[in-house]
Every structure is written in C-alpha cells, then in structure tokens.
Amino acid sequence: MGGLSGFNTGWKCLKEYIDDTEDLINIKLGNVQNKLIKFELLLTAATFLATVFAVVTTVFGMNFEDEVFDEPNRFHWAVSMSAVLCGVLYICFLLYFKHKKVFPL
C-alpha cells in the first residue's frame, strides 16, 4: 500500500498543478479580453463620431433646394465646424473614460 499512497500523492500534486495552470491561463485570457473590450470602446466612440460627420456632409450632397446651399463657403464652414465638434466630442469621451477609470490614459 505504500506505493499506492505515493502514487496518489503525486497524482494529487499533478492535478493541483494542472488546476493552477488552468486558473493562470483563464486570468491571462480575461486580461486580454478586457484590453480588447477597452480598445473596442475607443473604436466604437470614433465610429459614432465619424458617422455624425458623415451625416453632416451627406446633407450637403442631397439634391434639394435651400438657401443654406447657395454659398460654397457655408459647406466649408459646416464641414469644418462638424469636424471640430467631432474632435472635441472624442476628447470628451476620452476624458470621461479617464474619469470613470475605464482605462488609464
């Protein structure tokens, strides 16, 4: 029976080692997943603001009559202002994420 108890002890140590390795791998995978989610959050915010910018420029591409479209400078002004606004909103998103400690910036 002495040989079996040594085998049993070795088996338990091996099982604990495998369980600890599984836990370590799960922790590392969770960490990578959290980083990907944070990066996805940044990309989603950027995509949202790019869509807002695209909507503004699309309105100027429509074929309907309005006095807003009579002067070419109004197009440049509207596109410039929407680009600045989108940039400011993205910076606000970043500051909000930093304030909520979503990720360090």
- Predicted TM-score (pTM) above 0.75: no
Structure confidence by residue, pLDDT tens digits, 21-78: 999 999 999 999 988 998 898 899 899 999 988 988 888 777 667 776 677 788 788 8
The residue to which tokens 């309907």 are assigned: 64
Integer angstrom CA distances of residue 77 from 36, 54, 83, 84:
37, 15, 10, 10
Contact 89, 33 (CB under 8 A): no
